[in-house]
Amino acid sequence: MKIVSYSNMLNKSSFLAVAILYFTVNLFTTKVISQTENTYENLLVLYVNEDFKNCFNKSLKYTVKEKTKKDPLPYLFAAKASYEMSQDHKYTEEFPKARKTALSYAAKYRKKDKEYLFKEDAEEFINDFKLNIIEELENYLLEGTDKTYSKAVGLTKKTCDIDPEDYGAKLLYSVLCTITKNKTNAKEYLKICIPKLEEYEKNKFSLKYMTESQQSLLRYAIMEYTKYYKEKDAAKSKKMMEYGKPLYYDENDFSKIEYNMDYKFLFDDFK
């Protein structure tokens, strides 16, 4: 029999109360609360208590009900609960596609929350999820087969969907579309990225406004773009590296990612 001390119960109860209070206050200070003005405290309680299965299942019910299917929060809770289950082997048999489901609902959440009104509730989760995705993308690209490039394209597109402000993800998607012979999407996404990249080239403080995953993906995408075009079009590669030089060539006080010399070495190859 598992014995839980009174102090532990009190701590957990206090944490839950604070979490609900924070979530509710934050919810009511946004411009628009939700279609139904439902705070979804029941989902929050389940999530905080790590009852991820019930949190996920109850969230899904809200996403299909006529009155609540346009509310962003059930999709966010479905994504968060599903992601947590994907990280725990005890859910593997019952929820074998939990990670894929989490990606899908995270993308649906951002589509519902176009103005990112629930940013404070979602940003940390999305950032952590994307850091996990970056590792998977790196492995796919290292393997470098038609199959893994195809998987990387799909995963990168989902990353763009769950974080529309991630221009590194958009740039990487453009590169991967080029590699997989989808020239239309490659040009479209590169065109979206160029104005932002030009901003970054002029302002080393740009990193200050990016999350850790956005910083990481941007550096990775610029370097992958450069490596791909280095032999095909050296001038294009050099220009891409110049876009990111103020951010990654030297150590930057606003960087949230560990500095390494890889960007500097790649840039110096063009001298």
**Which residue is it, tokens 């590296």?**
241
* 222 domain-assigned: yes
What pLDDT was estimated at residue 114? 93
pLDDT at residue 176 above 50?
yes
Same domain for 258 and 174, yes or no, is yes
Residue 37 pLDDT: 72
User: 70-106: per-residue pLDDT in tens?
Assistant: 999 999 999 999 999 999 999 999 999 999 999 999 9
Looking at the predicted structure, is the pLDDT value of residue 6 above 70?
A: no
15 pLDDT above the threshold of 90 = no
User: Rounded CA gap, 76 and 82, in Å?
Assistant: 10
Residue type, 231: E
Q: Which domain holds residue 196?
A: 130-271
Inside any domain, residue 124? no
Q: Which residue has the tokens 């001298």?
A: 271
User: Does some domain include residue 122?
Assistant: no
- Find the mean pLDDT for residues 48-62: 98
Of 71, 88, 117, the domain-final residue = 117
Q: Report the percentage of the chain scoring pLDDT > 90.
A: 85
HSE at residue 188, side-chain half, CA atoms within 13 A, is: 7
Give the integer Cα–Cα distance in Å for 123 and 165. 12
- pLDDT at position 66: 94
- Residue 86: closest CA among 113, 65, 105: 105
Same-domain pairing of 162 and 113? no
Q: What is the pLDDT of residue 84?
A: 97
Please count the structural domains in the chain.
2
* Whether residue 106 is found in the same domain as residue 203: no
Q: Does the pLDDT at position 207 exceed 90?
A: yes
- Please tell me whether residues 29 and 163 are part of one structural domain: no
Whether residues 207 and 259 share a domain: the answer is: yes
What's the pLDDT score for residue 48? 97
Are 140 and 260 members of one domain?
Answer: yes
**Does a structural domain hold residue 82?**
yes
The residues near 39 (Cβ < 8 Å, ≥ 6 apart) are 23, 24, 27, 28, 33
Last residue of a domain, one of 78, 94, 117: 117
Q: What is the pTM of this model?
A: 0.86
Model pLDDT, residue 177:
98
Q: Is residue 2 part of a domain?
A: no
Query: Which of 91, 117, 143 is the endpoint of a domain?
Result: 117
What is the per-residue pLDDT across 153-169, written as a single tens digit (0 to 9) for each? 999 999 999 999 999 99
- 180-195 tens-digit pLDDT: 999 999 999 999 999 9
Q: Is residue 123 part of a domain?
A: no
108 and 147 in a single domain? The answer is: no
Shared domain check, 263 and 210: yes
The mean pLDDT of the chain is 90
* One-character DSSP codes across the chain: -----HHHHHHHHHHHHHHHHHHHHHHHTSS---SS----HHHHHHHHTT-HHHHHHHHHHHHHSTTTTT-HHHHHHHHHHHHHHHT-GGGTTT-TTHHHHHHHHHHHHHHH-TT-TTHHHHHHHHHHHHHHHHHHHHHHHHH--HHHHHHHHHHHHHHHHH-TT-HHHHHHHHHHHHHTT-HHHHHHHHHHHHHHHHHHHH-GGGGGGS-HHHHHHHHHHHHHHHHHHTTT-HHHHHHHHHHHHHHHTS--TT--S---SHHHHHHHTT-
Let me know: does 214 contact 172? Beta carbons within 8 Å. Answer: no
Whether residue 236 lies inside any domain: the answer is yes
36 and 154 in a single domain? The answer is no
Size of the chain, expressed as the number of residues it contains: 271
Same domain membership, residue 31 and residue 144? no
pLDDT value at position 214?
98
Rounded mean pLDDT of 118-139? 96
Q: Are residues 216 and 192 in the same domain?
A: yes
Q: Predicted confidence band at 20 (pLDDT cuts at 50, 70, 90)?
A: low
| % residues pLDDT > 70 (the chain) | 87
The yes-or-no verdict on residue 69 having pLDDT over 60 is: yes
Residue 14 lies in a domain: yes
Same domain, 254 and 185: yes
Residue 35 pLDDT class (50, 70, 90 cuts): low
